[in-house]
A and B are shown apart, each in its own frame.
Chain A
């Protein structure tokens, strides 16, 4: 079974999966490997990274030297198709005109969704991250512990391939032997930061990223991933052999034609299609989940974007993994006399407690990196190091003034030049031209570093989305209206980030840029970090949550939400690895319930 047109779908499937990114890809993979017949619906177009990725193109080969434009907000070579902060004809609205109260929603309309361009940073949530309410009385506990999800983190890391090290730091879990691939060597600026920040008590260690720093072990991993399933072992072994190790060139955000990093389109979908159990229909814009007279889901209705026809497809189980906000939108649009407020929403909580990651940045110029002897610093197409949150004890003792932590990501190195590569020079030499300008460009190239904080946001009552009462998209589907507000826990954290980054830069002998006067000015707008989670939060009480710990909606047993929507907290750790681990765990539960005849 393959990519098909909407007219070729089967009369009924075991499971319909809406969305093809981290959550949808993992769900389809797990289900089809175990023999379930799955239909995947993707709102965007088909996309093939093997054919479409600009691997070695240089900026002078792109329009505008690859600089960002409204058509391509992350630059010309970013892999995103038909997406960005705005999708033409598919608006969303904001309840407030105050810039600080707005949510920025990044969408991609392509097979694999945002997994094609993401940063590949793959950090496990730690034990504290599952019980934040118990720890400090804020937010919500997850209806599971770290130990419940740990086996799925193990499997996800083995399946997608993650490099990194185990340092045994607080709330920063080690992976068991055999899960992680070796980390790449640190770059010059990263090494210097590690050396100097140590004196500040700030630990710089190898980051975990979903990039194959070495070939996967196709001999031994398949049996660990799929014990007692010879067919699945054979298929994933084949898929692993078809992935090359990183060749240490080209940025991961372009996608990867040699399949060396994780994107759903190169890792989850090829083996899932190989099972013969997966149909994929692209250009399928899902409007609503359909239900029968007993309140059970029967399938979904969608609009074929090529023909503009409205179609329905049927299955025993429906899994939404359309991105947390898009899944909310589908549920709220699934209105019927029985469910006048939308589906799975008797608690009134669908759309509530949406979260992003706290982001703030500060850069500086490091004289020690000037005139660095020429060498290749491309590396793994992204950062090699990070700083995990290191002040748990001080924070728990109430010394920091904000309740949750952040980690630090680095921007450094002698990157491929493009627009803006010399824009920092004016601040140093005051301006100039001619022979001196060329000499300065050489001297200062690669001597700038930037640090970005990525911190935990606590869910709050003022951050939610709902259906806009009047606005519809070009398909006639009501759109989302966002409400947003940071609390002081987040703005104080952002101020702490900038203060810390200034100290790190100074410890390296550098000169930091000017920090913002307040945390509220330093913090990025909501949504800007593209770690959109929550909206269908999980819990133990049907009145206080939308799903149980299996991402299964309390109200409709055969309806699951396998994207970031079920997150009831958003640890500083980037969410994608947890989305995949959760989706795998929920899919195992779904299969078991189907076998038992409960679904």
Chain B
């Protein structure tokens, strides 16, 4: 017998395979299959309603919009990742779930109040007007402090989700994870940049 938790995890995996739907409230256990490729929703059930996903998608793409280097965050599955994150049964994630769901509700209310539309339906200038008030936690006005706390969390999740995708890694300049015969060290250009050439 494996340890109880691992055995439970294995049983859960077997149950998932049998039923095809993940269980609520169960993590991946202490002995998950590390080689398998996972996607959001594989291990535990997701949370977002359609309206929540719509708002999350718009906010993700305001934080990381498309440019000439890479696509917008939603084009590489970041909203689904955020849903996976807030749906995880681990300590901390339940706090993040409350923060994110309350924040998404707030940003739609604020959008309605200011512009008579949900956040996803605003034009860029309107989105920016709201984000400018909440994007800097340290200097946010008292009435926006709570929303700024949400924005900071949401930005961390969006960026972590985005830069860990192949498109995000390429954008940020991560070119590793490829086998090579020799480790070349810094390029001549990098050494010159450091003043060590």
**Do A and B make up one complex?**
yes
Of all chain A residues, the one with the shortest Cβ separation from B160 is A419
Residues of B within 8 A of A64 (CB): 84-85, 88
Residues of B within 8 A of A61 (CB): 37-38
Bound complex: CA of A290 vs CA of B104, how far in Å?
Answer: 63
Answer yes or no: B18 CB below 8 A from chain A CBs. Answer: no
B163: which of A83, A89, A185, A441 is its contact (CB, 8 Å)? A441
Of all chain B residues, the one with the shortest Cβ separation from A368 is B194
- B190-A375 in contact (CB<8A): yes
| Cβ proximity bits A68-90 to B, threshold 8 Å, 1 near / 0 not | 01111000110101111001111
- A82-B5 in contact (CB<8A): yes
Bound complex: CA of A299 vs CA of B2, how far in Å?
Answer: 24
B176: which of A188, A307, A414 is its contact (CB, 8 Å)? A414
On whether A432 and B185 interact (CB within 8 A), knowing A82-B30, A82-B31, the answer reads no
Bound complex: CA of A185 vs CA of B85, how far in Å?
Answer: 38
B183: which of A71, A81, A248 is its contact (CB, 8 Å)? A248
Write the nearest CB–CB distance from A371 to chain B, whole angstroms: 7
Of all chain B residues, the one with the shortest Cβ separation from A70 is B90
- A417-B174 in contact (CB<8A): yes
- A83-B30 in contact (CB<8A): yes
Answer yes or no: B178 CB below 8 A from chain A CBs. Answer: yes
B136: which of A77, A82, A195, A432 is its contact (CB, 8 Å)? A432
Write the nearest CB–CB distance from B80 to chain A, whole angstroms: 11
- A417-B3 in contact (CB<8A): no
- A90-B88 in contact (CB<8A): no
Residues of A within 8 A of B28 (CB): 63, 69, 71-72, 76
Residues of B within 8 A of A70 (CB): 27, 90-91
Of all chain A residues, the one with the shortest Cβ separation from B195 is A368
- B30-A416 in contact (CB<8A): no
Interface of A is mostly: loop
Chain A positions 269-295 with a Cβ under 8 Å from a chain B Cβ = 283
- A184-B163 in contact (CB<8A): no
Bound complex: CA of A79 vs CA of B35, how far in Å?
Answer: 11
Write the nearest CB–CB distance from A3 to chain B, whole angstroms: 16
| Cβ proximity bits A186-225 to B, threshold 8 Å, 1 near / 0 not | 1110011001000000000000000000000000000000
Bound complex: CA of A181 vs CA of B151, how far in Å?
Answer: 49
Residues of A within 8 A of B129 (CB): none
| Cβ proximity bits A240-277 to B, threshold 8 Å, 1 near / 0 not | 00000001111000100000000000000000000000
- A378-B163 in contact (CB<8A): no
- B177-A421 in contact (CB<8A): no
Write the nearest CB–CB distance from A246 to chain B, whole angstroms: 8
Answer yes or no: B1 CB below 8 A from chain A CBs. Answer: yes
Of all chain B residues, the one with the shortest Cβ separation from A380 is B183
- A379-B27 in contact (CB<8A): no
Answer yes or no: B161 CB below 8 A from chain A CBs. Answer: yes
Bound complex: CA of A307 vs CA of B2, how far in Å?
Answer: 10
> B1, B131, B148, B173 — which one has the most chain A CB atoms within 10 A of its CB?
B173
- B169-A416 in contact (CB<8A): yes
Answer yes or no: B34 CB below 8 A from chain A CBs. Answer: yes
Answer yes or no: B166 CB below 8 A from chain A CBs. Answer: yes
Interface 9-residue window, one of A50-58, A230-238, A326-334: A50-58
Write the nearest CB–CB distance from B8 to chain A, whole angstroms: 9
- B180-A422 in contact (CB<8A): no
Answer yes or no: B17 CB below 8 A from chain A CBs. Answer: no
Of all chain A residues, the one with the shortest Cβ separation from B189 is A373
Bound complex: CA of A248 vs CA of B185, how far in Å?
Answer: 11
Bound complex: CA of A518 vs CA of B109, how far in Å?
Answer: 46
- A422-B193 in contact (CB<8A): no
Of all chain B residues, the one with the shortest Cβ separation from A79 is B34
- A379-B183 in contact (CB<8A): yes
Bound complex: CA of A426 vs CA of B155, how far in Å?
Answer: 10
Answer yes or no: B64 CB below 8 A from chain A CBs. Answer: yes
Residues of B within 8 A of A433 (CB): 62-64, 131, 135, 151, 155
Residues of B within 8 A of A371 (CB): 193
Bound complex: CA of A411 vs CA of B37, how far in Å?
Answer: 28
Answer yes or no: A474 CB below 8 A from chain B CBs. Answer: yes
Residues of A within 8 A of B91 (CB): 70
Answer yes or no: B168 CB below 8 A from chain A CBs. Answer: yes
- A192-B173 in contact (CB<8A): no
- A88-B174 in contact (CB<8A): no
| Cβ proximity bits A434-462 to B, threshold 8 Å, 1 near / 0 not | 11011001100110000000000000000
On whether A417 and B186 interact (CB within 8 A), knowing A81-B30, A192-B194, the answer reads no
Answer yes or no: A377 CB below 8 A from chain B CBs. Answer: yes
Answer yes or no: A407 CB below 8 A from chain B CBs. Answer: no
Bound complex: CA of A61 vs CA of B28, how far in Å?
Answer: 14
Residues of A within 8 A of B177 (CB): 56, 58, 249-250, 378, 416
- B139-A430 in contact (CB<8A): yes
Bound complex: CA of A380 vs CA of B6, how far in Å?
Answer: 31
- A82-B6 in contact (CB<8A): yes
Write the nearest CB–CB distance from A166 to chain B, whole angstroms: 20
Write the nearest CB–CB distance from B114 to chain A, whole angstroms: 18
Of all chain B residues, the one with the shortest Cβ separation from A89 is B4
Write the nearest CB–CB distance from B76 to chain A, whole angstroms: 8
Answer yes or no: B113 CB below 8 A from chain A CBs. Answer: no
Write the nearest CB–CB distance from B140 to chain A, whole angstroms: 8
Answer yes or no: B123 CB below 8 A from chain A CBs. Answer: no
- B2-A54 in contact (CB<8A): no
On whether A421 and B176 interact (CB within 8 A), knowing A88-B4, A305-B1, the answer reads no
Answer yes or no: A372 CB below 8 A from chain B CBs. Answer: yes
- B1-A71 in contact (CB<8A): no
Residues of B within 8 A of A58 (CB): 164-166, 169, 177
Q: Which 10 A-B pairs have the closest CB atoms?
A: A185-B185, A431-B136, A378-B176, A247-B179, A88-B5, A419-B160, A373-B189, A59-B164, A417-B163, A422-B159
Q: Which residues in A have some Cβ–Cβ distance to B below 8 Å? A: 45, 51-54, 56-67, 69-72, 76-77, 79, 81-84, 87-90, 109, 184-188, 191-192, 195, 247-250, 254, 283, 305-308, 368-369, 371-380, 414-423, 426, 430-435, 437-438, 441-442, 445-446, 474
- Pairs A–B under 8 Å by Cβ, sample size 12: A45-B2, A58-B169, A61-B37, A63-B88, A89-B5, A185-B186, A247-B181, A374-B173, A417-B160, A420-B156, A421-B160, A441-B163
Q: Which residues in B have some Cβ–Cβ distance to A below 8 Å? A: 1-6, 27-32, 34-35, 37-38, 42-43, 62-65, 67, 69-70, 77, 81, 84-85, 88, 90-91, 128, 131, 135-139, 148, 151-152, 155-156, 159-161, 163-166, 168-169, 171-187, 189-191, 193-196
